[in-house]
Amino acid sequence: MMRDLKRMVRRMKTNRASLRLSMVPYSLWIILFVIAPIGLIVYYSFFDLSGNFTFDNYKNFFTSVYLKLTVSSFWYAFLITFFSLLISYPTAYFLTKLKHKQLWLLLIIIPSWINLLLKTYAFIGLMGLYGPVNALLETVGIGKQQILFTDFSFVFVSVYIFIPFMILPIFNALDKLNPALIDASRDLGANAWTTFRRVIWPLTLNGVKSGIQVVFIPALSLFMITRLIAGNKVITLGTAIEQQFLVTQNWGMGSTIAVFLILFMVVILLLTTANERGMAGSGKKR
């Protein structure tokens, strides 16, 4: 009893001390590079082009064009996240089974160090009418297809960009998984699917969640790909903000869209954290 108490006291002290120590640079960062910019954005969102205080920007957001934009942004972000997860999870799983798994993991990341614009140009060439992909389609008898400037090409290239960001956290979660648990599950007669659903998936959920966070949120504000690969047939909130800031120079409207983007993001984060608690609860029950 006494020992427990002591331990509790020490533990609390430990936490508080390490908290205080590690808090300084991080808090400084939050104040300077997060709170200050948000403050600026919120501030600008209340001004019109001639610098007068106004709520018009917010009113403007609820006109049909921007609402439609928001809905389509969410739809594409959802698609991109879904397919990224679908491809990344098995990849991460198979990677953990390899002999030199850390090396293979690095090899997944290396392609993302080559400039994105260049890779996008490469995709334009690869997917072009005279590119290798269409040549392949022709030899197998499907015939030439317009691949570029379609929903497919947009989602495909976006998934390509985000895959490493999704694989890493999932790989880390899977790698930690105790193989004994899987064996135990098998021994208890569970088939592969049940083992996955009941054992592997719940235990790697945290990794999946951070994967979703790092894909879904940036996917809402993708911009260059929308033009180069989708030919502006897909437009995201990010594209609209970019335009307002750079072309129209209407910082007020751009900031207003950004405010909504940030609000959406907070909602998404709160939803995932609420889930986290719920999962932990049900996990215990099991």
Partner 1 sequence: MERNGKLPKIYLTAVFLVLYAPIFYLIFYSFNSGGTMSHFESFTWEHYAAVFEDKRLIIIVLNTVVVALLSALISTAIGVMGAITIHYMKNKAMRNAMLSMNSILMVSPDVIIGASFLILFTLVGIKLGFASVLLSHIAFSIPIVVIMVLPKLQEMSPTLIDAALDLGATRKEIMSRVILPFIKPGIFAGFFLALTYSLDDFAVTFFVTGNGFSTLSVEIYSMARTGVTLTINALSGLIFVITAGLILGYYFLTNRPKTPARGLKR
Partner 2 sequence: MKALVRGAILIAATAAILMIINAQLAKSGAQSGGNTLTVYNWGEYIDPDLIKQFEKETGINVIYETFDSNEGMMGKIEQGGTSYDITVPSEYMVEMMREKDLLIPLDYDKIPNIKNIDPYFMDLPFDPDNTYSIPYFWGTLGIAYNPTLLDGQTFESWDNLWDPSLKQEAVLVDSAREVIGMSLNSLGYSLNSTNIDELREATDKLKTLSPNIKAVIGDEVTQMMMNNEAAVSLIWSGQAADMMSENEDITYVVPEEGSNLWFDNIVIPKTVKNIDGAYEFINFMLRPEVAAQNADYVGYSTPNKEALSLLDPEVVSDERYYPDEKAREHLEVYKDLGLEMLGTYNELFLEFKMNMK
Beta carbons of 114 and 196 less than 8 angstroms apart: no
Tokens of 236: 């995201």
Tokens 């040549």 belong to 135
Nearest distance, CB of residue 148 and partner 2, angstroms = 7
Options 101-109, 179-187, 247-255, 262-270: segment touching partner 2 (CB under 8 A): 247-255
Sign of CA dihedral 225, 227, 231, 233: positive
Site for partner 1 in 20-49 (CB under 8 A): 21-23, 25-27, 29-30, 32-38, 40-41
Q: How many CB atoms lie within 10 A of CB 114?
A: 10
Q: How many CB atoms lie within 10 A of CB 227?
A: 15
Rule CB under 8 A: say whether 227 interacts with partner 2. yes
Q: What is the dihedral of CA 123, 221, 212, 260, to 10 degrees?
A: -170
Which residue, 25 or 141, is less far from partner 1 as judged by CB? 25
Rule CB under 8 A: say whether 230 interacts with partner 1. no
Nearest distance, CB of residue 285 and partner 2, angstroms = 37
- What values do phi and psi take at 48, rounded to 5? -95, -175
Rule CB under 8 A: say whether 271 interacts with partner 1. no
For residues 46 and 30, give the distance between their C-alpha atoms in angstroms, rounded to a whole number: 23
Rule CB under 8 A: say whether 17 interacts with partner 2. no
Nearest in space to 275 (alpha carbons), one of 204, 177, 209, 190: 209
Rule CB under 8 A: say whether 85 interacts with partner 2. no
Which among partner 1, partner 2, none contacts residue 69 (Cβ within 5 to 8 A by kind)? partner 2
Rule CB under 8 A: say whether 253 interacts with partner 2. yes
Residues that bind partner 2 (CB under 8 A): 49, 65, 68-69, 121, 124-125, 128-130, 146, 148-149, 227-228, 230-233, 235, 240, 243-244, 246-250, 253
